[in-house]
Amino acid sequence: MLSALTTVVSITPKPTRRVVLDPFKISYTCDKQRQAVAELVDEFSITPSALVTIKDHFIHELKKGLAKDGETLAMVPVFVSGRLDGSESGSFLTLDIGGTFLRVVFVVLTNGQVTKQQKKYSIDEDLKVGETKVLFVDEHAIKVPAGSEIDLGFTFSFPVLQTTINSGTLIAWTKGFSCPGGVGKDPAALLQDALHKQNMHVRVVSLLNDTVGTLLAHAYQYKNTVIGLGLGTGSNAAYIETVDRITKRKGSMEFATGIKEMVINMEFGAFDKEKIILPLTMFDNKVDRKSLNQGNQIFEKMIAGMYLGEITRNILVNLIDRRLLLDGRSTKEICKVWAFDTSYMSTIEADETPDLDDTRFVLESYLGFASSDPMATLTSTSTSVATSSSSSFTDRQIIKIIVGLVGKRAARLSAMAVAGILEHTQGVGWTEDDGADIGVDGSLFRFYPGFEDDMKEAIEDIFTFEKSCTIDISKIQMRPRLDGSSVGAALCALLAGKTAAVPSSSE
Ligand code: BGC
């Protein structure tokens, strides 16, 4: 079920440098190979002009989502309003069910100072597709001292149609989760039930998306925060919207209270479900077909950590099948769906050894292209399975180029979304005098070499090319923000405060 990984706050290694190869300067073994790589470069590169076109469509979809429920971009108002000033204080428990991990954190906020005690668990694959109730029930997760009562901020990083600050309805599972009995239910109520059943005196006072937590945690430190961005296993953003523009809620009771701004959970991973604007390749379509949520989260599947390795694997297998890579040899490992972890891409991107030894290491250690394992030769039964010689230098160069194409495309498309939100909110949620702060969580932004730089370059490309909107990008500060599901969730619990009712039973 849940296996404890660590009980301390993790330390973030700095992302390594990205080392780029020029696809037009390497020596290919034949023209067909050169041609195949040139085609990939063409398919995966997104020009500034194309980025602007996609960004315009993104803004169009964003506005549709603000005007009407049921649109591709859900644009969920999350009942968090008002800006923070850093003076907020209190003690809270937070629980985060995200993608890869479940975290429980006890957070104490004292006028901008934060102390935390954290427990982190990995979520088994079985749990991701097992009964929803089981996901909420595991009693290892929370330990509350007997007799005490505490408020809990619940970060649930899936598309939820929020009905109050501590209730909502799960619209769909994403990121490889598919627990029966979850869609249509209120995650906060499910959690509250589970806690009651275990006789825990914990009130679930807020339900929030991880990007909302990122936004709040960043705003606690930087008052000009406009966007909370999530670029990890999945991808999404939350931003501060003026209530007047959330036209689909005009006239509703909660909106008649005079509040001027509200946080919106965009659920932008769903962008272009219709497949009309994104430059999808056959490799992306293959990923979509193999996923548990086929036809959904199309944008997320081009940019999120869960999918980048699989896109890369599809390209490699295609070249192998055409005998243009690795002498046409494949291995059990490379043939396995989802077997190419996105972290391998980071290693390959950062490889600056003259012979690309780190790339060779990935091929040999994780993908079965072993060069010197005599046992592999003896135990192999299939002639098409690689057993003896490993990769050539050209193979490794091509692999590095392909990884670079997939990674850079993801960064540029992620930047397109940021540019779209900035353009939409300019002059309303932020002004150029004050600038805009963006807090970013997620493994891609933190660990993928060059991701942040590629994003910045793309934002610059967009606003240089875009004639109708000028944004001085020196006024935009994008910084990592890692404590959304602890500090952000605690702040959300604080904002929910005493007003939130304990969620009703899920039954
Ligand atoms: C979910 C979002 C979440 C994002 C990042 C997506 O798959 O739909 O709700 O914010 O992943 O975790």
Q: Could you report the per-residue pLDDT of 80-96, keeping only the tens digit for each?
A: 887 788 888 889 999 99
Q: How far apart are CA 116 and CA 6, in angstroms?
A: 14
End-to-end CA distance of the chain: 24
The mean predicted confidence, pLDDT, of the chain is 88
87, 112 in Cβ contact below 8 A?
A: yes
Q: pLDDT band for position 144 (50/70/90)? A: low
Q: What is the pLDDT of residue 123?
A: 85
pLDDT > 70? residue 140? no
Q: Is 26:397 a contact under the CB 8 Å cutoff?
A: yes
Please state, for a pLDDT cut of 90, what percent of the chain lies above it: 69
What is the per-residue pLDDT for 113?
87
Q: How many Cβ atoms from other residues are within 10 Å of residue 97's Cβ?
A: 23
H or E element that contains 283: helix 282-290
Task: Please indicate whether residue 2 or residue 204 has the higher confidence score (pLDDT).
Answer: 204
Question: What's the average model confidence in pLDDT over 384-394?
Answer: 67
- Which residue in this structure is represented by tokens 């679930």? 204
How far is the C-alpha of 391 from the C-alpha of 124, rounded, in Å? 33
> In angstroms, what is the span from residue 236 Cα to ligand 1's centroid?
5
Mean pLDDT across 179-194: 93
Q: Is the pLDDT reported for residue 135 higher than 90?
A: no
What integer is the mean pLDDT of 167-196? 93
How many CB atoms sit inside 10 A of residue 22's CB?
A: 8
Asked if residue 269 has its Cβ within 6 Å of ligand 1, the reply is yes
Task: Please give the backbone phi and psi of residue 333, each rounded to the nearest 5 degrees, phi first.
Answer: -65, -45
Closest to 289 in 3D by CA, of 331, 338, 322? 338
Q: Quick one: which atom of ligand 1 is closest to the CA of 99?
A: 12
| Tens-place pLDDT, residues 150-181 | 899 999 999 999 999 999 999 999 999 999 98
Please tell me the residue having the least CA distance from ligand 1 atom 1.
158
**Is the beta carbon of 98 within 6 A of some atom in ligand 1?**
yes
Q: Tell me, what DSSP letter sits at residue 501?
A: P
Give the mean pLDDT of 242-268: 87
Q: How far is the CA of 421 from the centre of ligand 1 (A)?
A: 17
String of b and e for 169-197 (b: at least 16 CB within 10 Å)? ebbbbbbbbbbeebeebbbbbbbbbbbee
Query: Is 176 a pocket residue for ligand 1 (Cβ < 6 Å)?
Result: no
Distance 455 CA to ligand 1 centre (A): 19
Q: Please indicate whether residue 209, judged by its CB atom, sits closer than 6 Å to ligand 1.
A: yes
- Helix 282-290 and helix 305-321, axial crossing angle in degrees, nearest 10: 120
Per-residue confidence (pLDDT) for residue 147, from 0 to 100: 63
Tens digit of each residue's pLDDT (9 = 90 or more) over 35-67: 999 999 999 999 999 999 999 999 999 999 999
Task: Please report the pLDDT score of residue 143 as a whole number.
Answer: 64
Task: Write the residue with the smallest CA distance to atom 11 of ligand 1.
Answer: 234
CA of 47 to the centre of ligand 1 (A): 27
235 lines ligand 1 (CB under 6 A): yes
Number of the ligand 1 atom closest to the C-alpha atom of 210: 10
Contact 102, 498 (CB under 8 A): no
Asked if residue 506 has its Cβ within 6 Å of ligand 1, the reply is no
Confidence of residue 389 (pLDDT cuts 50, 70, 90): low
pTM of structure: 0.91
Q: Tell how far the Cα of 267 is from the centroid of ligand 1, in angstroms.
A: 7
User: What is the 488 CA–ligand 1 centroid distance (Å)?
Assistant: 16
Band of residue 371 on the pLDDT scale cut at 50, 70, 90: low
Phi and psi based region of residue 104 (left: phi greater than 0; alpha: psi -120 to 50; beta: remaining): beta
H/E segment holding residue 360: helix 357-365
Burial class (CB in 10 A: 0-12, 13-18, 19+), 56: middle
pLDDT higher at 12 or 334 = 334
Q: Whose CA is nearest to atom 3 of ligand 1?
A: 157
The better pLDDT of the pair 127, 507 is held by 127
CA distance 98 to 121: 11
Supply the pLDDT for residue 2.
37
Is the C-beta atom of 156 inside 6 A of ligand 1?
no
Cα–Cα distance for residue pair 89/113, rounded to 1 Å: 9
Rg of the chain, C-alpha, whole Å:
24
Task: Please name the residues in contact with 165: beta carbons below 8 A apart, sequence gap of 6 or more.
Answer: 78, 79, 80, 205, 206, 207, 492, 495, 496, 499, 500
Ligand 1, atom 7, residue with closest C-alpha? 234
pLDDT of 501 above 50:
no
Residue 337 structure tokens: 């769906």
Cα of 208 from ligand 1 centre, angstroms: 11
pLDDT value of residue 8:
30
Q: Does 174 contact ligand 1 (Cβ within 6 A)?
A: yes
Nearest CA to 245 out of 231, 254, 232, 255 is that of 255
